[in-house]
A and B are shown apart, each in its own frame.
Chain A
Amino acid sequence: MTDLNQLERDLLSQVEGAGDEAALEAVRVSALGKKGSVSELLKTLGSMTPEERKERGPLINGLRDKVQTAIAAKKETLAEAALEARLSAERIDVTLPVPEASEARGRIHPISQVIEELTAIFADMGFSVAEGPDIETDYLNFTALNFPEGHPAREMHDTFFLAPDEKGERKVLRTHTSPVQVRTMTSQKPPIRVIIPGRTYRHDSDQTHTPMFHQVEGLVIDKSANIAHMKWILEEFCKAFFEVDQVKMRFRPSFFPFTEPSAEVDIQCSRKGGEIRFGEGNDWLEILGCGMVHPNVLRNCGLDPDEYQGFAWGMGIDRIAMLKYGMPDLRPFFEADVRWLNHYGFRPLDIPSLVSGLTA
């Protein structure tokens, strides 16, 4: 008995004293290995009498279990210590910078962003997007739209002309997106509901004008669309676009060759500290032109103005972008200065939608 107790104390103290996994292994071999002290004791069980075995067996097996458990526990402790030591040696400086993500550097130009915003709003109101070429015929840009011969817009100082072609026809850079109205009305049957965003050109370059700019045009043609509908569409659009609950709009009778009656639309706003806010204030800001499609234009598109009717409107995309996002000047839109683009541009995944909101 004494020697078993002694052996147990010895072995457990050796286990406890093992400084690393190798030392622990040596203890295990010395105790539980083939020739280990405990193994040797276990071997003696075979030659014992049943009575002896009955008495000694549990003791020796008990010793083996205790030692095994102690070794396993020690092994766990040592492994933890080793991991601890490794981890304390493994350190990085997490304050070192990683390269700025490409997603953080990329930008979408405000014009593209605003076109997507417009599209989201008008798509919800049942409009599709029509497009047309930048280089237009004089007929589609002017004549079909009821511009009389000799109208000042048809002059070289207002409109860009291309060199005459073989037939002597002088094409123009479209001065508005309205020729696409004609293209749409002559290529599809009413009911028509389209918006037409695109590049437009006028022979103008100063502080507030650029020779190239962007417009969006809207066109509704059916057998009943009237000014009341037009007012509704434009008010709903302005609320959605400027992301305000209320807008106050003023429809001023005006004149355009391709609409009759025509109106210019002002939107009420306040200007405080260089910031424009819609839905409040006492200032009026002109934002678009609109009207009922002129009977001559309908006729030019093969539609009977006594049967079909509808309205159209047009506004500057660059301008409404400036009003919404506060760019003070137009010219930098086309200068590709990365400082401006970084500031006024939109992040790559700021995708406008009515589901998540037009702006983040």
Chain B
Amino acid sequence: MKFTLSWLKDHLDTTAPLDEIVETLTRIGLEVEGVEDKAKTLAPYTVAHVISAEQHPNADRLRVCMVDTGADKPIQVVCGAPNARTGMKSVFAPPGTYIPGKNITLGVGTIRGVESAGMLCSAAELEISDDHDGIIDLPEDAPVGQAYAAYAGLDDPVIEINLTPNRPDCTSIHGIARDLAAAGLGTLKGDAVPAVQGQGACPVSVTLDFAPGDEKLCPTFALRLVRGVKNGPSPEWMQRRLLTIGLRPINALVDITNYITFDRGRPLHVFDLKKVKGNLTVRRAKDGEEVLALDGRTYTLDSGTVVIADESGVESIAGIMGGEHSGSDEGTTDVLIESALWDPLNIAQTGRKHGIITDARYRFERGVDPAFTLPGLDLATKMVIDLCGGEASEAVVAGQVPDTSRVIEFPWSEVPRLSGLDVKPAESEEILRKLGFRVEGSGERVNVTPPSWRPDIEGKADLVEEVIRIAGVDRIEPQPLPRLEAVVAKPILTLIQKRTRLARRALAVRGLVEAVTWSFISRQEAELFGGGDERLVLANPIAAELSDMRPSLLPGLLKAAQRNADRGFGDVALFEVGQTFASGEPEGQSIKAAAVRRGTARTEGVGRHWDGGAQSVDSFDAKADVLALLAALGIPAGGLQIVPGGPAWFHPGRSGTLQFGPRNMVGAFGEVHPKILKALDLKGPLVAFELNLDALPPPKAKPTKMKPKLSLPEFQPLTRDFAFVVGRDVAAGDIVKAAQGAERQLIVGVDVFDVYEGTGIDPDKKSVAIAVTLQPTEKTLTDVEIDAVSSRIVAEVSKKTGAVLRS
């Protein structure tokens, strides 16, 4: 919403300077977006007389001008404008002036050997129009030395406010003035509009043609004819105001409607009586009906749109834009003025549907003051008669002005209760009255009736807002919020919140870099990673490749890794901890942690190193990551099983699944499947893991924080090595498990320290060497006892895996 200071002063009797007005507007909730004060920005520019303009001695296209600026002596200026000539009046800028259109600050210069001490300016250089064909050519009577902005009437500051959608009343300058008056900045002027006494009936009748229940689409439609007008350009003062706020003057009749739209927040429309056939009907459009609107575009309508039609068809899109056909022009002599009320919701929907943004729509979708429907018509009639002459008919009014009055029972204590500011009832009452509220009753509780222009006021809280925004939110002193409990704060994070935080740190410590990728991925990616559920498809994705809620963090990370590789950073290690979606229900959302490693981005080091070659990442890097994560989260490794093979997006032979029992799979790791690489256009080596943090077992609840008693064995542990030859398919884990099972009490550790395939071993076999640690608890073991345990280990491993002790 834009307006000028002088226009505001039509409605507000004030001596407040511009700065104070601007500050107050923002303070009371009418946030000032910008102030354009040409008097200030154009202050150095003055009207000047070109005494002489002669050919520059060294340049064909330049002229040397002697300029009278009103100072003692003429000033010499070199000018390149084709229209510079002796005797003309133009606009002069002295050295030191900032030229906005050129983004330079003038200095005294020498141009082709001739000194130039200033500049004669074009309108484009002053950024007041696009005209850059030559310097500004002013009439002969322009007073030399006067500030140009004042001379040209450009010195009316323009204020633009960012209006919140709840304040339709401030789509009018009158409404803004009312707020400022309430805030103590002056007195509101010119409230009442005298009624117009029309002569004779309006020759065009209006029918509101709506099905029962639809009447709210147009509660009121008022129309009046003014006969015998003389249309033409509107007066200069009106044109200037309209231009200053960015409106193009059309003709007096149209300009009056635009003027009142801003002045009073009351949009109007004018029809040329000659061009209207028969009577007017207000109705829903028929599907497929067309109208050529005033913006020159043809709109195809449907029954969601309300129109004003005559006997030949649609003349106007209700509340949004008039039609080209029946619009007024210079030849208009009899004009119909419309002042109607429309349904805000319908106007908003229609405007959006057709993509039409107009000043009328802006007001009607917020809610125009119903009580001003007829006064608005009268005001327009008066202005038409004042500016264009003519004689008014009586108004024809279809429908009824709705009574929106309502009473809010308001205890004054509500203000301090919600705001913490002790505004006294007298002050609150004065504020409400100045804003147009009716306050009835006395004492602690009063009855408040909001004015017709404030559809946003529903209840007590709204009244509190009115009082404190005018009284000043800055008067509220901050007050410490008392603690609910004294002393030391209790821990607040939930288990998953703690795990999420810990997971990030644990993975970052391993050299992984945290990424945050989109929650939505492409259909193809979703399907490749176990998703594609119809319930997780966006109806209106922002882009085709961001259509499905992600079932997994991996597609986003894999693609990110590739993007980095494409930029020359192939050795990347990325992780993300974030939400994934299995259904649209809250339970379908789970927090996962996932990481990808590409190239040589291993925890131990990245790239080539003098101490060893560049080692590519493999599945064990991913396995190490996920096990480190589980360890950091304090998940006891006891119940965890690692089963060969993973989900379809992993290499079937180089991946593993993490589970706590066959029904509780919590994650997987491995090399990314070659088919995935191909489908997503990725280059390996790429390994990854993903772990569902929500699926991990919770820690066991314990009554105390006591750790179990530490018992240190008296006797030294000892280690025995065994090398087994087994089939290549036998899992090392099974050998370890078998060895452990041979003597549960004594064996405290089994490590695989060598795996060998090749010379000396059958091609379908491999050698697996394990180190078994024995921890005697009661006495030192004898050789015989150690041998017996060793035999049991060999027997158990052979039995479970078919292994033979390597000789």
A residues touching B (Cβ–Cβ < 8 Å)? 96-97, 99-103, 105-109, 111-112, 116, 119, 123-129, 131-135, 149-150, 152, 155-157, 160-163, 165, 170-171, 173, 191, 193, 199, 201, 203-205, 211-212, 220, 225-229, 231-233, 235, 250-255, 260-264, 292, 294-296, 305, 309, 333-339, 341-342, 345, 347-349, 351
Contact = CB atoms under 8 A, between A and B. Distances in A.
B489 interface: yes
12 contacts: A100-B605, A116-B501, A119-B492, A129-B494, A132-B586, A162-B539, A163-B539, A211-B518, A227-B419, A253-B465, A295-B461, A342-B513
A232 B481 contact: yes
Contact of B468 (A203, A225, A227): A227
Nearest to B578: A199
Contacts of B508: 106-108, 347-348
Interface string B574-603: 100111010011101100000000000001
Interface of B: 26-29, 31, 164-167, 345, 348-349, 352, 416-421, 458-462, 464-465, 468-469, 473-474, 476-481, 483-485, 489, 492-494, 497, 501, 504-505, 507-520, 534-543, 546, 549, 556-557, 560, 563-564, 567, 569, 572-574, 577-579, 581, 584-586, 588-589, 603-606, 609-610
Contacts of A173: 519, 538
B480 A199 contact: no
Given A105-B573, A261-B461, A336-B574, A229 B479 contact: yes
Given A105-B606, A337-B567, A345 B31 contact: no
A228 B420 contact: yes
A212 B550 CA distance: 13
A201 to B, nearest CB: 7
Contacts of A338: 513, 564, 569, 572, 574
Given A163-B534, A337-B563, A338-B513, A231 B345 contact: no
A341 B515 contact: yes
B595 to A, nearest CB: 11
A203 B501 contact: no
Contacts of A171: 584
A124 B514 CA distance: 27
Contacts of B581: 134-135
A165 B534 CA distance: 9
B166 A255 contact: yes
Contacts of B421: 227-228
B501 to A, nearest CB: 7
B512 A337 contact: no
Contacts of A345: 513-514
Contacts of A228: 419-421, 476-479
Of B519, B577, B578, the most chain A CB neighbours within 10 A belong to: B519
B525 to A, nearest CB: 15
Given A135-B584, A229-B479, A263-B473, A341 B513 contact: yes
Which 8 A-B pairs rank lowest in CB-CB distance, beginning with the nearest? Answer: A99-B605, A228-B420, A253-B29, A102-B511, A261-B465, A106-B508, A336-B560, A348-B508
B563 A336 contact: yes
Given A309-B418, A336-B574, 4 more contacts: A226-B418, A260-B464, A261-B418, A261-B464
Contacts of B167: 255
B509 A348 contact: yes
A232 B461 contact: no
Contact of B537 (A155, A163, A263, A349): A163
B492 A227 contact: no
Contacts of B563: 335-337
Contacts of A107: 508, 513-514
A203 B542 contact: yes
Contacts of B459: 295
Given A295-B459, A338-B574, A150 B348 contact: yes
A54 B485 CA distance: 94
A128 B519 contact: no
Contact of B589 (A97, A133, A220): A133
A15 B414 CA distance: 107
B535 to A, nearest CB: 6
B612 to A, nearest CB: 10
Given A163-B535, A171-B584, A156 B485 contact: no
B519 A199 contact: yes
A331 to B, nearest CB: 12
Of B31, B508, B535, B577, the most chain A CB neighbours within 10 A belong to: B508
A234 B567 CA distance: 42
A109 B164 contact: no
Contacts of A309: 417-418
A4 B206 CA distance: 150
A263 B473 CA distance: 9
Contacts of A150: 345, 348-349
Nearest to A192: B484
A126 B484 CA distance: 7
Contacts of A123: 489, 492
A96 B417 contact: no
Contacts of B541: 160
Contacts of B513: 105-107, 338, 341-342, 345
Contact of B474 (A170, A250, A347): A250
Contacts of A231: 476-479
A336 B515 contact: yes
Contacts of A96: 610
B417 to A, nearest CB: 7
A319 to B, nearest CB: 15
B514 A112 contact: yes
A248 to B, nearest CB: 11
A165 B604 contact: no
A211 B542 contact: yes
Contacts of B460: 295
Contacts of A124: 489
B306 to A, nearest CB: 15
A103 B509 contact: yes
Contacts of B604: 99, 102
Nearest to B572: A338
A102 B621 CA distance: 13
Contacts of A205: 542-543
